[in-house]
Structure 1
């Protein structure tokens, strides 16, 4: 059995270049050499070009009919981790002090993990060394990570986790200093339910986590036509924020100064899965994504909409276009599944599994495939595969530099006593310690039960390692999009503490995973 020192060394050394790349991004961000605008442009390249190219370049040669069976256990593992994370978030929200405007934020933070750039970099580095096969396992490992990336997209964008972040900024939800009022256990959602229906205590109804009718007066004033068409508070959030920005900087309504913000990949996905998509042409200040928290004036109350005559309502309801609009609104979240990353996986999997098709891109003679070569001695479409490799090589370092630069722009609330310290520590413990322990036992049980082959070292390592990754940084972007004040400092503090813990926990988890292989 390897010594403890050797395992610690093997766990730390492959991670050093990952941490160095993050530090480089942090240094550049602090010095102003990697601005928010530069980050958005680099994010476009990473999300839309380099990472999809990396997935294609790794899936095509790595997946075969023998190891494609790994998809089922990996998807099961990914959704299990998400389920455990959601549960941890709900428990922490109930037992710890959490600001009222972060109740849903902490649930999403505990559930959704960084399954993109960070684990891809670490998996590539670790699988270059024993006991892995450095000729095949790095590509196979990145392919397995892509399964977790797809799972993340399905839950965060299609499943509605991203849109649920808006619940913390609905009308009636306290913001600023008012949100920091400490509530008793029976004023929390689950605690209030237990107090009223289990313990039969006479307590006031707790503040809801989400309510379409957050402001009863304003809702009652709305005309029936507007209620029928399903106009919800998402539109009001967008309108209020836009009105506030116009009041502070009127020229924003006339000039497209914020094109980089509008084209950010995460902002585009958030718009496609929410009511915000109908106002996508409205400009915003890029400072919202740069970690700046401007103090915005409160917009004046919006007058109630006019009420249409009943005959006009009937005519509108009977118009066929209204049904197509409803259908489009219903199917809108599904469009979030169509991203460059998921499209790359959908294209590359059939190529990898159909041997005759795969032979057009890479050599398949060792898999019993045909030997098709062009004049240069390579398969006819090998230039596509080589180009994907070339473009994919920039994905990992660029993404890590982006991650470091995002840390440099985070703002932590002052004084620190305002922070929910116990909730921060509990969330870090749950995600970076408790969930990895559950993940290790879960994967060991799947191996013992025959669901994962014992000799599938790459699959086992990826499944165990991705149980201990920190939250996804793009929650910061989406929360900034929904925030009515631009204040996401509480989330920044949670993310910062999680990534600090990650520097220590990832090395330990790597060492434990290698020991169990």
Structure 2
């Protein structure tokens, strides 16, 4: 706390100013997506780079530089706050959505919107923009706190399987498609059996024998090959796309020439385009902008899910045919399930983000190990010839690479918003996105600030103003962008529109329209009232 008295107008200006920078970067991503420069394929590859390189580097650089074993109690507070936000906000958002008339086939998406927020790029960019104001001390340490919040959410969403909530909205549709597939299989088997029987009868009539030596009377067996078991896949691999699936996400109309390849080559040579034109132009810029349909085509794993459902149904039918309960089989099933869960957790833990978090916490908690990377008052080691710690070059690398995460993340966010569209929306349904947006950005921040006021009075922020500030603004954030791509996994790639995508589009649009007002309001309250400026 501080006794400095700052004019309210200055506080409001300080709270609003970072929003302009954030929305300008988002606007760049929006423009690039509308011009097909930032395509779905490009965005997907850049997101992979961000998750595998930039974000782990940012986490390592900020935590090792600003956290030590004296901050364990602050990490405990962050863990409690994160659990409270995920559980309570998720349940209350679900309640508000149900009261607003949310259909049952979006309950999983509704709960996910409440539980998982965009807790990385927006709060980090917002906090870093306030570094020169001198009102929020230790901004870099605040960024490390945000990174810990982010890691807590990743653990809940991916390592603990929270991403599976979205699958609940599509279970009935997948089962229906499974039943249709099984019906088609039976019809095909009956047709094959009839055809084989007819051929067999004709052969017997011609040859006067059964023909058992030269004909197979059994109908052709239908076999479904499962390319991958999504239940045992690591969560982030669900967002992957096979190389043979990534072609022709959007075919630009400008490439549909009626001329031959030789004529096109002659035409290009006759134009003699400049080097600058060749470098900064691409054929997709003249094509219609990619939309959410292209996102679905790129990320959808619907056909695989249906195939796996067919295989599981066949195995289930086989087990139901046996009347007696076999305890050995039950125990074997439990063991297989346990091994699958352990394998799932291990696979998730071996992701770059999890490795970075474990490594950074381990290094920061051991003084003599931390002294290898950064200067610390808790331990002293001989310096390198340049007077810096021996492994300072690793920190230079992590800081330099990690700094690209926030602007890149905001550009990708803008690209995602640029592809949003609402195809068909019942007049009664629009209330759901409006209700949950008003709750998440207007009502829940009030609840959060009240809770944090109690936490501060109990001394659990340990006089860390930046921790108080970060904890307050984390109650006023839009849903995580990853929900859009997780939803696309369960939609058929040839489907023109999906109700769940329409709901998400409305939720994102409403949140980012209202965020420009609500986040500065929460910030102004935090600085003026909570921190006492």
TM-score tier, shorter chain, comes to 0.7 to 0.9
Return the match for 1:493 from 497, 506, 511: 506
Residue equivalent to 1:476: 484
Displacement of 1:7: 1.3
Do structure 1's residue 423 and structure 2's residue 432 form an aligned pair? yes
Higher relative contact order structure (alpha carbons within 8 Å, sequence separation ≥ 6): 2
What is residue 11 of structure 1 aligned with on the other side? Answer: 15
* Worse-matched range after superposition: 122-131 or 487-496: 122-131
**C-alpha displacement of 1:480:** 0.7
Query: Separation in 1 of the partners of 2:342 and 2:118?
Result: 26
Contact between 1:27 and 1:408, CA under 8 Å: does it hold in 2? Answer: yes
Determine the structure 1 residue equivalent to 2:342.
331
| Corresponding residue of 1:189 | none
Residues 446 and 452, structure 1, Cα contact 8 Å, conserved in 2:
yes
Matched, 1:407 2:398: no
Give the 3 Å change call, closer, same or farther, for CA 278–6 of structure 1 in structure 2.
closer
CA distance in 1, matches of 2:245, 2:458: 54
- 1:494 is displaced (CA, Å) by 1.1
The reply on whether 1:82 has 2:73 as its aligned counterpart is no
Partner of 2:215: none
Closer/same/farther in 2, CA of residues 285 and 119 from structure 1, 3 Å limit: farther
For 2:239 and 2:327, how far apart are their aligned partners in 1? 23
CA contact (8 A) 1:274 1:333 kept: no
- Alpha-carbon separation, structure 1, partners of 2:236 and 2:402: 31
Contact persistence 1:166–1:483 (CA under 8 A): no
Moved more, 71-80 or 12-21: 12-21
Contact kept, 8 Å, 2:373 with 2:389, in 1: the verdict is yes
TM-score w.r.t. the length of structure 2 is 0.71
Q: CA deviation at 1:436?
A: 0.9
Assess, with a 3 A threshold, how the Cα gap between structure 1 residues 81 and 382 changes in structure 2: closer, same or farther. same
**Residue 50 of structure 2 corresponds to which residue in structure 1?**
46
Report what 1:433 is aligned to: 442
Q: Does the Cα contact within 8 Å between 1:292 and 1:411 map onto a contact in 2?
A: no
> What stretches of structure 2 of length at least 5 have no aligned partner?
184-224, 251-289
1:440-475 CA distance string (max 9 Å, x none): 11111111011122x311111111111111000100
The two structures have a TM-score, normalised by structure 1, of: 0.73
Q: How has the CA–CA distance of structure 1 residues 74 and 316 changed in structure 2, closer, same or farther, with 3 Å as cutoff? A: closer
CA distance in 1, matches of 2:318, 2:390: 64
Higher-Rg member (1/2) = 2
In the other structure, the counterpart of 2:166 is: 165
Q: How many residues align?
A: 428
Q: Is 1:157–1:333's contact at 8 Å kept on the other side of the alignment?
A: no
Q: Note the C-alpha offset of 1:320.
A: 11
TM superposition shift of 1:343: 1.7
Residue 473 of structure 2 aligns with which residue? 465
Work out the CA distance in 2 between the residues paired with 1:435 and 1:270: 36
**In the alignment, which of 89, 96, 114 is matched to residue 92 of structure 1?**
96
C-alpha separation between the residues in 2 aligned to 1:327 and 1:317? 15
Does 2:102 align with 1:107? no
8 Å CA contact retained: 2:55, 2:402: yes
Q: 1:502 aligns with which of 505, 512, 515?
A: 515
Contact between 1:89 and 1:108, CA under 8 Å: does it hold in 2? Answer: no
Structure 1 residue 76 displacement after superposition: 0.6
Q: CA offset at residue 128 of structure 1?
A: 3.7
For the 8 Å contact 1:11–1:511, the answer to whether it is kept is yes
Rounded to whole Å, the distance in 2 between the matches of 1:278 and 1:146 is 24
1:11-40 deviation digits (Å, cap 9, x = unpaired): 011232222111111111111111111101
> SS of the counterpart of 1:376?
coil
Matches within 5 A, 1:13-412: 13-133=17-137, 137-171=138-172, 271-273=233-235, 283=245, 291-292=292-293, 305=314, 325-334=336-345, 335-364=347-376, 367-412=377-422
When residues 269 and 17 of structure 1 are mapped into structure 2, their CA distance, relative to the original with a 3 A threshold, is farther
Deviation at 1:410, TM superposition (A): 1.0
Counterparts of 2:248 and 2:84, CA distance in 1: 36
User: Displacement of 1:58 after TM fit?
Assistant: 0.9
> Residues of 2 paired with 1:380 and 1:278: CA distance?
38
- Cα offset, 1:47, TM superposition: 1.0
| Distance of aligned partners of 1:83 and 1:214 in 2 relative to their CA distance in 1, 3 Å threshold | farther
Q: Deviations over 1:345-403 (max 9, x none)?
A: 21112212222111111122xx1421421122221111111010110110110000000
**Which residue matches 1:456?**
464
* Distance (whole Å) between structure 2 residues aligned to residue 478 and residue 287 of structure 1: 18
